[in-house]
Amino acid sequence: MESLWQQWLANSSGNPSSLLRSIQQFWVAIDLGLVFVLTYTILVAIGERRTLWMVQGLVVLVLAAGLSSTLNLKLLHFVLDKITIVSAVAMAVTLQSEFRQFLEQLGRGDIGGLFQSSRESLPKADSVVDEVVDAIKELSQNRTGALLVLETKQPIDERDFSVPGVKLNAEVSKELLQTIFQTSTLLHDGAVLIRASRIVSAGIILPLSERTASRQLGTRHRAAMGITERVKTCLCVVVSEETGSISLAERGSLNRPLTSSKLKELLEARFSSTVDGEVVAPNWRSLGRRLSSRGGAAIARFFRRSSSASSDKK
C-alpha cells in the first residue's frame, strides 16, 4: 500500500491538474463509502421486514429522481422529487419508534449497538411453533374456541381484515394466547395475528369465505378460509368451540381434524422454508473483510490507471 501511495504521489507531483482530479476522485470515493456505511447501519438497525421494504422503496424513489434529473426529464423529476419528500415524511411518522431508538443509541454513544441486528435477539421459529402448539393443545382440551393467523413470508396488509383489531406487540407465549381466548375477555371473539415471534394484534375480524362449506363448520372456520383465500402466504389455526377439534387453513382449504403433534409437524414444515430466522444484513466483520479486500483491489487499479495515464501524456 505504501508503494502504491508513493507511486501515485510521484505520478501526480508533476501535474497539478492531475493531482487535483485525483484528490476529487478520492473524496468522491470517501463520500460513497460513508453513504454506504450509513445505509448499511440503517438496514441493520431495522429488524422488521415491512420496514425494510419501506426503506427499499424510498431508495428506489431517490434513485429514480436522480436518474430523471440526469436525463433532464424536468417534469418527471419534479413529480418524483415531491413524491420522495412526502414518502420520507410519511416514513418519519410511521417509524417514529424506530427513529427514536436510533437517536437514543446515538445519544448514549452506543455506536456498536447500531451494527447489531435486532433479529438476533428474537426467538427461533421452532420456539414460536412450540408456544403456539402448546396453547392450541390446551385450548382444544378445554374446548375453547381460538383463531390464529400466522404470517409465513410476506406481512399481511391490515386492509385485508374486516376490522384490524387491537394492537398488542407482545412476545408469543402459550399463557398469553390462552388468556386472550378465554370467554371472559373482550378479545376472545376475534383472531390473533402472529408475525415472527410477536403477537401483533388481537380481536381481529376476518373476512368470511364465500365458498359453500359444511354445516359442521362455524364462523371461525369460514373466517380462516376467507383470510387464506385472500392472502395466499399466511396460515390460520382454528380450534372449534363445540368439539375442540384443531384445523389448519391454507390457501382457502381446511386440513382437519388434526392432532397437536400433526399440527406441529405441519407448522414446522411451513416455517422451515421461510426467511423469518435470517438476519437482514450480513455480519459486519465478514462484510468489512470483503470490502477491505475489494477496496484494496479497486485502489490498486485506480493507481495503475493514474500511472498509465501520466505515462501516456509523457
CA dist 69 and 71 (Å) reads 5
Residue ranges per structural domain of the chain? 2-120+285-313, 125-271
CA dist 32 and 40 (Å) reads 12
Does the domain formed by 125-271 have CATH 2.40.37.10? no
Count of CA atoms in the C-beta half-sphere (13 A) of 290 = 6
How much is the pLDDT for 69? 84
How much is the pLDDT for 131? 94
Q: Which residues pair with 151 in a beta bridge?
A: 234
In this prediction the pTM is 0.54
Q: Residue 219 is placed in which grid cell?
A: 364462523
pLDDT by 10s per residue, the chain, length 314: 555 555 555 555 555 566 667 677 777 778 767 776 776 666 665 555 566 677 778 878 888 888 888 888 889 889 988 998 988 888 777 767 667 776 777 777 766 655 554 444 444 567 889 999 999 999 999 999 999 999 987 778 888 898 989 999 999 999 999 999 999 999 998 999 998 889 999 999 999 988 766 666 888 999 999 999 988 889 999 999 999 999 999 998 999 899 999 999 999 988 875 544 444 444 444 545 554 555 555 555 555 555 555 555 45
Q: What angle do CA 135, 136, 139 make, to 5 degrees?
A: 85
Cis peptide before 164 (omega within 30 of 0): no
Length of the chain: 314
Q: Residue 255 is placed in which grid cell?
A: 386440513
Q: What is the per-residue burial (b if ≥16 Cβ within 10 Å, else e) of 82-109?
A: eebeeeeeebeeebeebeeebeeeeeee
How much is the pLDDT for 152? 85
Residues 132/177, Cβ–Cβ less than 8 Å: yes
CA dist 206 and 220 (Å) reads 9
Nearest by Cα to 132 from 256, 238, 50, 205 = 238
How far, in Å, are 226, 243, 249, 294 from residue 209 at the CA level?
4, 21, 12, 55
* Grid cell 507511486 in the structure block, residue: 7
How much is the pLDDT for 104? 74
